[in-house]
Amino acid sequence: MKRLMTTTLLSALFLVACGTPTGYDPYVTRGVNTGDKTEEYDQFTLQRTACFGFCPVYEVLVDERDVLVFKGERFVREDEGAVSKRLPDGSFRKLIRIAKDHDFSSYDAAYPDEDGSNCPSRATDMPSVIVSFDAARLSHSVSLYQGCMGFEGREDLDAMILEIDKVLDLDSFIGPREAFYGGEEETQ
């Protein structure tokens, strides 16, 4: 009886000692770090909308802790709920720096705007890219319809979005483009 009680007590202590530490963020998770608790932090959001075709549709949120949350909708590899991963340290600050280097705050909130005056020429059936910062150091949002062309600063805005894409490194969440428009699938 004494041996049974000792074994039970040691087992209970072992289980308590092996518990998950507070604040632990695994590299990639499903359902963890993907809820509303990120709203208490400074954050960056990138959203890509649908087009007439196979454009990836998703939203990405990165908070100041360098936690990325990916929510895929269509034409992406990860399309069944939110997935998160930890970015390298300093990634959020790098996103802020990229935006400031490209004078992000000077861009209009939408291209085209309500009357279309800031969009000299347009193509139809294109996706939009929506970039937003809600942070102490930067608070601004830009919605760019990819068919809006010919406005001053378009090339710089595109360059900024490409730099942001490199920091986010979303290839594993989006998947190979060929899989969505009939080409060869990625072999593993």
Establish if 179 belongs to a structural domain: no
Residue 12 counted as domain residue: no
pLDDT tens column, 24-46: 344 455 554 555 455 578 999 99
> Span 65-79, mean pLDDT?
95
pLDDT-derived band at 23 (thresholds 50, 70, 90) equals very low
Q: Decide if 164 is inside a domain.
A: yes
Assess if residue 9 is contained within a domain.
no
> CA-CA distance, 137 to 116, in Å (whole number)?
30
- Mapped onto helix, strand or coil, the DSSP state of residue 109 is coil
Instruction: Please report which confidence band the pLDDT of residue 126 belongs to, taking 50, 70 and 90 as the band edges.
Output: very high
Which domain range does residue 153 map to?
26-170
Q: Which structure tokens are listed for 112?
A: 């085209």
Residue 185 has pLDDT above 50, yes or no: no
- pLDDT-derived band at 120, boundaries 50, 70, 90: very high
For residue 74, the domain's CATH number is 3.30.1560.10
Identify the three-state secondary structure at position 64.
coil
When divided into structural domains, the chain yields a total of 1
Residue 188 lies in a domain: no
Residue 69 · residue 38 · CB < 8 Å: yes
CA angle 82, 35, 100 (to 5 degrees): 85
